[in-house]
Amino acid sequence: MTSNGITDLAEAPLEEFERELAAGDGATYAHRLREDALVVVPQRVLDKAETIAEIDAAGGWDGFEIDRVREDLLSEDSAVVTYRIQAHRGAFEYSAWLSSVYTRDADGWRLLLHQQTPLD
């Protein structure tokens, strides 16, 4: 993991959150996403409820690898993590650059915006 301009993101283990989401189900997303979260995937922009429904329908990845992780603290209460994912679900394979913006509130670090750029 690289951190640029970050003195300490120990209280915001963003890469861990992203791994939790990649392996998770709708309940995982319900816990981690803010109410006003947006998830930008190929061909669609989903709100929180749509994201949860899509994840419950598709399920998590059967396996995935995350690398080239970069975490940046944008302010005391906001941060972004960017990384490459290579994942599969059954015969379907997916490679993309992903970025997630997190904000911190009374409930801790929550996902505000997630965006995917497929490599294929």
Structural domain contains residue 2: no
- According to the model, what pLDDT value does residue 60 have? 80
Structural domain contains residue 85: yes
Closest CA to 96 of 11, 7, 18, 12: 18
- According to the model, what pLDDT value does residue 2 have? 43
Structural domain contains residue 86: yes
Structural domain contains residue 73: yes
Structural domain contains residue 34: yes
Q: CA end-to-end span of the chain, whole Å?
A: 24
Closest CA to 102 of 9, 1, 7: 9
What gap in Å lies between CA 13 and CA 32, rounded to an integer?
13
Q: What is the CATH number of the domain that holds 77?
A: 3.10.450.50
Structural domain contains residue 1: no
Structural domain contains residue 96: yes
What gap in Å lies between CA 99 and CA 83, rounded to an integer?
7
Structural domain contains residue 44: yes
Range of the domain at 85: 7-118
- The conformation of residue 32, written as its DSSP 8-state character, comes to H
Number of structural domains found in the chain: 1
Residue by residue, pLDDT tens for the chain (120 residues) are 444 444 455 556 899 999 999 999 999 999 999 999 999 999 999 999 999 999 999 878 899 999 999 999 999 999 999 999 999 999 999 999 999 999 998 888 999 999 999 997
Closest CA to 22 of 67, 116, 85, 77: 85
